[in-house]
Amino acid sequence: MRVISDADLRGLAADLLAAGSTVWGPARVPGSPRPGVEYRPLREAAELDLGAGLPFLPLKQVFLPPTEPLFWWERKGTEVRLVPPAPPNRRVVVIGARPCDAAGADAMDRVMGWDYRDELWFARRDAATVVTVACERPADEACFCSDVGLGPSHPRGSDLLLIPHPGGYAVEEVTAKGRELVAAFPHRFREDEQVTPGETAAAGPPRIDLAGVQRWLADHFEDETWNEVALRCHGCGACASVCPACHCFDIVDEPDSLLAGTRRRNWDSCQTSRFTVHASGHNPREGQHARVRQRVVHKFQVFPRRFGRLLCTGCGRCTRACPAGQDLFEILTLVSERALETS
């Protein structure tokens, strides 16, 4: 099997940086109040830190930045001029994506590409090669990728999948883009017949009945469960901000002056009360129970039916980020149990 050593993976990052690519990878952030790593554009290969678990923010920031300009506008008299942002002109390689993050971007491709095509998203997707490192063990007890049809070495959304073994990684070429990366830097890879793909981290058996969950969600839109699970929710939207698959955004104008400004899109969350409020003040989604329900039903029933993917990859970030201790897997477990009771 094709393998890459620890040193060569770092070497690959260095080669790419030297060749002018933007390389994103998990790295410590100097001075950050948060422990652990974040996905960052690396300045040097030595910053790459693959041993520190799941970055706090998801990989989607590479393709949908937390805030990005849609265009700049400028007014001169009655004339208005619009200046669009430049398309990405550099190759982007992500080294050390986690499988849940790679799969999240794949789920977002569905909504970004249906009917209208979001060129800003796909320009970044097309320019990027995602090299994923499979997880040897769950980051912590909040992880539940194996319960949502994925797993610690699931290839979805990855171009190359690296499966750790002592001293390095077995290399699974998932897409043509992945093969091209290997072909471009052949000296970083070698063949090792001792290593077999069988050594991948094993996905555990699912702890919930996903089909049952989806069945229950489809016909329990009105249910006391939503009032129960919403009691904890503050409506802050932290869960969506750290989600690798939440695609909602707001579009806002930020004036620099009366004569110029920027229209931007920013990450948004359906958990805040203002997400659906009309200019008239009317809010068709009153009540936090309706907003928590929206999150769960959309991710596990609506989106999969429409786009063929769950809008959740089991990364557990929402659970880790929630200031009120809301636990998405706990909600799914509860729904799974209620599905059993009603089946």
Partner 1 sequence: MRASSLYEPLLSEIARVEEETPDTRTYFLAADAIPWRGTYRPGQFVEVSAFGVGEAPFCLSQSPTRAAFIEVTIRRTGSVTNRLDTYGAGDLVGLRGPFGNGFPVERARGKDLIFVAGGIGLPPLRSLINYVLDRRSDYGDVKVFYGARSPADRVYKNELAEWRRSPDLSVVETVDRPDEGWDGPVGVVTALLKGLKVHPASTMAFTCGPPVMLEFVTAELLRLGLHPSNIVTTLERYMKCGVGKCGHCCVGHHYICVDGPVYNLDQIQRLPEAP
Question: Residues in the site for partner 1, rule: CB under 8 A?
Answer: 70-71, 73, 75, 78-80, 82, 84-87, 111-112, 114-120, 123, 221, 247-253, 255, 258, 261, 263, 265, 268, 270, 275-280, 282, 284-285, 290, 294, 297-298, 302, 305-306
Nearer to partner 1, 187 or 278 (CB): 278
**Residues in a beta bridge with 171:** 162
Task: Choose between 145 and 270: whose C-beta lies nearer to partner 1.
Answer: 270
Q: State which residue, 210 or 260, has the beta carbon closest to partner 1.
A: 260
Q: Rounded to the nearest whole angstrom, what is the least distance from the CB of residue 58 to partner 1 in the complex?
A: 16
Taking the complex as a whole, how short is the minimal distance between the CB of residue 128 and partner 1, in angstroms?
Answer: 15
Nearest 5°: phi and psi at 333? Answer: -65, -45
CB-wise, 167 or 255, nearer to partner 1? 255
C-beta of 185 vs 249, nearer to partner 1: 249
Least distance (Å) between residue 68 CB and partner 1: 9
Antiparallel, parallel or unpaired: β 22-28 and 92-97: parallel
As measured in angstroms, the least distance from the Cβ of 125 to partner 1 is 13
Give residues with Cβ within 8 angstroms of 99, minimum separation 6.
132, 134, 135, 145, 150, 151, 152, 153, 154, 155, 156, 157, 158, 161, 313
Min CB(73)–partner 1 separation in Å = 5
Closest CB to partner 1 among residues 28, 285: 285
Distance of closest approach, residue 338 Cβ to partner 1, in angstroms: 18
